[in-house]
């Protein structure tokens, strides 16, 4: 009989493979005919390379030139005549700015007969940037937002106003050319103006929203940055067609199918998980205790994107915190395991995709003198999980559609 960890690895593999962007891009391009003008490609985000490679394979020389901006380690080699940039995430760096400028240069001389094939995925907010403030201030504001637990919508509402390419502004730069935008969603509910901060989609957020977020978290910003909060973003774009492909729902559905194949009765709890990571873990632990006497194997699936409030100086990510947050709740429950992974293969500023714990994890950590409460307080889930072989390592996956967490309750047959 397969072990819990082997089951977890199979479920993770199946879910991530289903979320790869290849088929999504193929579907979005199927039957689409470009006008007789030039076609140039711009891809931005953690899945940018994979999306661009698929488009290149399908369209070949029809694409005159391209610019791809993705996260460090996410490029898998050259593509045709594309200029490929790797840049910083979650904090933009100099390559983020250079990559975005290369994209601007690529589209600035186009006509109404031409088309920009714009491939967007999560992470694009940091990776694709032409800042209207200094790089240092942009990095500082981003770090403040991440540290205070702001959600992705709040973060992107501010990013749009600090940027020359976000909030529909890149589509304006492309005009009069048409923009055919294919979007891989990494935000719950698929709000197109928020994914990668909506470079080619009208912005629904307002200046009032931005100022409310600054007040809510007490953010420190320069006078020039505060002045940008007063400037409204484009509310209508006439040169853009958008196709949305892939989302956390697909990730959850694939995990559900994989669980079923392995003999678990699966239940998708939510595909809109949005809370503190460790609390989500504790909740899954509570569910495990409620169903601990079940006479058959169960799997509970939760997709979404949790948040971490930084209270320490340790190393980790939201998926690792979620998993470790469940360890105490499932302690001693034979056959119980919880794992959580980021679909992009990276969890926070670490080389792990997420974390795995089972009913023995808490006791094994205790034997090593590790206090789970103190570890979570110091946001040091990575090192704790490392001690008990609880890190999930996948490497960059080429996609980004949020996270999936699974509680397994395995019963002997």
pLDDT for the residue 236: 93
Of residues 257 and 159, which shows the higher confidence score? 257
Mean pLDDT, range 379-387, rounded to an integer: 97
Mean pLDDT, range 351-366, rounded to an integer: 98
Of residues 169 and 196, which shows the higher confidence score? 169
pLDDT digits (tens, 9 = 90+) for 132-149: 999 899 889 988 998 998
CA nearest to 160, candidates 128, 188, 185, 182: 128
pLDDT for the residue 1: 65
**What is the Cα–Cα distance from 352 to 49, expressed in whole angstroms?**
20
pLDDT for the residue 151: 87
pLDDT digits (tens, 9 = 90+) for 300-310: 999 999 999 88
pLDDT for the residue 262: 97
Above 80 in pLDDT, residue 51?
yes
pTM: 0.70
**What pLDDT band is residue 334 in, cutting at 50, 70 and 90?**
very high
pLDDT digits (tens, 9 = 90+) for 179-201: 999 998 777 777 788 788 889 99
Of residues 126 and 406, which shows the higher confidence score? 406
Above 70 in pLDDT, residue 110?
yes
pLDDT for the residue 404: 97
pLDDT digits (tens, 9 = 90+) for 247-295: 788 899 999 999 999 999 999 999 999 999 999 999 999 999 999 999 9
Above 60 in pLDDT, residue 413?
no
- Average pLDDT, rounded, for the chain: 93
Mean pLDDT, range 52-74, rounded to an integer: 95
pLDDT for the residue 191: 76
Q: Which region among 54-63, 280-289, 390-399 has the lowest average model confidence (pLDDT)?
A: 390-399
pLDDT digits (tens, 9 = 90+) for 399-410: 778 899 999 999
pLDDT for the residue 247: 79
**What pLDDT band is residue 232 in, cutting at 50, 70 and 90?**
very high
């Amino acid at each position: 009989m397969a072990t819990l960890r082997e089951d977890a690895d199979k479920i993770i593999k199946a879910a991530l493979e289903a979320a790869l962007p290849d088929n999504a891009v193929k579907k979005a391009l199927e039957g689409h005919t470009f006008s007789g003008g030039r076609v140039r490609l711009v891809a931005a985000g953690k899945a940018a390379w994979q999306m661009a490679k698929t488009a290149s394979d399908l369209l070949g020389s029809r694409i005159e030139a391209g610019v791809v901006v993705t996260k460090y380690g996410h490029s898998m080699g050259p593509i045709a005549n594309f200029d490929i940039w790797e840049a910083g995430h979650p904090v933009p760096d100099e390559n983020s700015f250079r990559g975005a400028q290369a994209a601007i240069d690529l589209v600035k001389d186009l006509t109404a007969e031409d088309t920009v094939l714009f491939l967007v995925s999560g992470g694009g907010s940091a990776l694709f940037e032409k800042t209207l403030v200094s790089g240092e201030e942009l990095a500082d504001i981003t770090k403040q937002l991440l540290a205070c637990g702001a959600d992705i919508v709040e973060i992107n509402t501010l990013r749009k106003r600090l940027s020359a390419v976000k909030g529909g502004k890149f589509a304006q730069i492309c005009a009069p050319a048409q923009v055919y935008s294919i979007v891989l969603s990494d935000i719950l509910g698929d709000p197109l103006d928020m994914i990668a901060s909506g470079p080619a989609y009208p912005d629904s957020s307002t200046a009032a929203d931005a100022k409310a977020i600054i007040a809510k978290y007490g953010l420190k910003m320069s006078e020039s940055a505060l002045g940008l909060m007063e400037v409204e973003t484009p509310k209508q774009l006439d040169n853009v067609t958008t196709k949305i492909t892939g989302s956390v729902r697909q990730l959850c559905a694939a995990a559900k199918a994989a669980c079923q194949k392995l003999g678990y009765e699966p239940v998708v709890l939510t595909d809109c998980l949005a809370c503190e990571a460790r609390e989500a873990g504790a909740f899954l632990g509570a569910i495990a205790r409620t169903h601990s006497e079940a006479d058959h194997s169960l799997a509970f699936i939760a997709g979404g994107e949790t948040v971490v409030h930084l209270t320490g100086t340790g190393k980790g990510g939201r998926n690792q915190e979620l998993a470790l947050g469940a360890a105490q709740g499932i302690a001693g429950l034979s056959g119980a395991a919880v794992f959580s992974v980021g679909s992009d293969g990276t969890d926070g500023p670490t080389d792990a995709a997420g974390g795995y714990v089972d009913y023995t994890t808490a006791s094994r950590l205790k034997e090593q003198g590790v206090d789970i409460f103190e570890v979570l307080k110091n946001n040091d889930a990575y090192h704790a999980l490392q001690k008990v072989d609880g890190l999930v390592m996948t490497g960059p996956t080429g996609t980004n559609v949020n996270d999936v967490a699974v509680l397994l309750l395995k019963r002997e047959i």
